[in-house]
Amino acid sequence: MADDVSIQHRIKSLIDEEHSLRSALQSGDISVDEEQYRLQSVEVELDQCWDLLRQRRAKREFGADPEEAQVRSERTVEGYTG
């Protein structure tokens, strides 16, 4: 299982990739369809990383082992209703 720092580095990497995709679209290097397809997978993984980080922090706060936190499915993290 990844630690908090590794998860945070992955989040930064995904945000950088998201910015890169948007720049590539603006410069005409990729099509709108390609950008949307790739962005969708980046955004899902980003949501999963944020969710995992929140789980780890909550477990730690309430005295549980943060290593028990697990990456949740796309359906779960994308289905949150707040």
Query: How many whole angstroms separate alpha carbon 6 and alpha carbon 73?
Result: 19
Quote the pTM value.
0.88
Domain boundaries, the chain: 4-78
In this predicted model, what pLDDT tens digit does every residue of 23-81 receive, in sequence order? 999 999 999 999 999 999 999 999 999 999 999 999 999 999 999 999 999 999 988 76
Terminal Cα distance for the chain, rounded: 26
> Given this model, what pLDDT does residue 1 score?
56
Mean pLDDT throughout 5-28? 96
**HSE-up (13 A, CA, CB side) for residue 9:** 5
